[in-house]
């Protein structure tokens, strides 16, 4: 038996075995409890195998979709890398053409201007009455 997507394909041997089990049960060939247990166990096993194959197929489908999504993300990231590389080349070219002409790089920096805010330490101190001797 093969599981394809949501459909279950039954092979010829599986159909024959099911028909034989059904005919045997109808004709009374499975009178003993052991034979009935075998038939029930076989049916239970068949259903479990069918479910297992279905889960396996669904997992494979999920992995395939995830793989396709990751491929799309990878392609988008590669395009972004290419665009950023081109941008970096452009800026590197601009910088190298600007460096020979730049006066800031060749002249020494001007001394920094220090700005002092007017503060009370430049003013005479006014003592508060509680600190006077």
pLDDT tens per residue across span 14-54: 666 666 666 555 555 546 888 999 999 999 999 999 999 99
10 vs 106, more confident:
106
Render pLDDT for 92-125 as a digit per residue (tens, 0 to 9). 999 999 988 888 877 776 677 766 556 555 555 5
- Determine if the pTM surpasses 0.85: no
**Does residue 59 contact residue 53 with C-beta atoms inside 8 Å?**
no
The answer to whether the Cα torsion of 39, 45, 51, 53 is positive or negative is negative
Could you tell me the pLDDT band of residue 91, with boundaries at 50, 70 and 90? very high
41 vs 129, more confident:
41
Q: What are phi and psi of 91, to 5 degrees?
A: -70, -35
Angle at 44 (CA atoms; ends 49, 51), nearest 5 degrees: 30
């Amino acid at each position: 038996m093969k599981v394809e997507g949501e459909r279950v394909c039954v092979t010829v041997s599986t159909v024959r075995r099911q028909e034989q089990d059904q005919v045997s049960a109808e004709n009374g060939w499975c009178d003993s409890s052991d034979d009935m247990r075998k038939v029930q166990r076989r049916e239970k096993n068949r259903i479990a195998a069918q479910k297992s194959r279905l889960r396996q197929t669904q997992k494979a489908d999920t992995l395939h979709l995830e793989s396709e999504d990751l491929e799309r993300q990878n392609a988008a990231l590669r395009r972004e890398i290419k665009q950023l590389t081109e941008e970096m080349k452009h800026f590197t070219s601009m910088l190298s053409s600007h460096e020979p002409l730049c006066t800031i790089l060749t002249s020494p920096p001007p001394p920094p201007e220090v700005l002092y805010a007017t503060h009370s330490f430049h003013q005479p101190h006014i003592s508060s009455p509680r600190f006077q001797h």
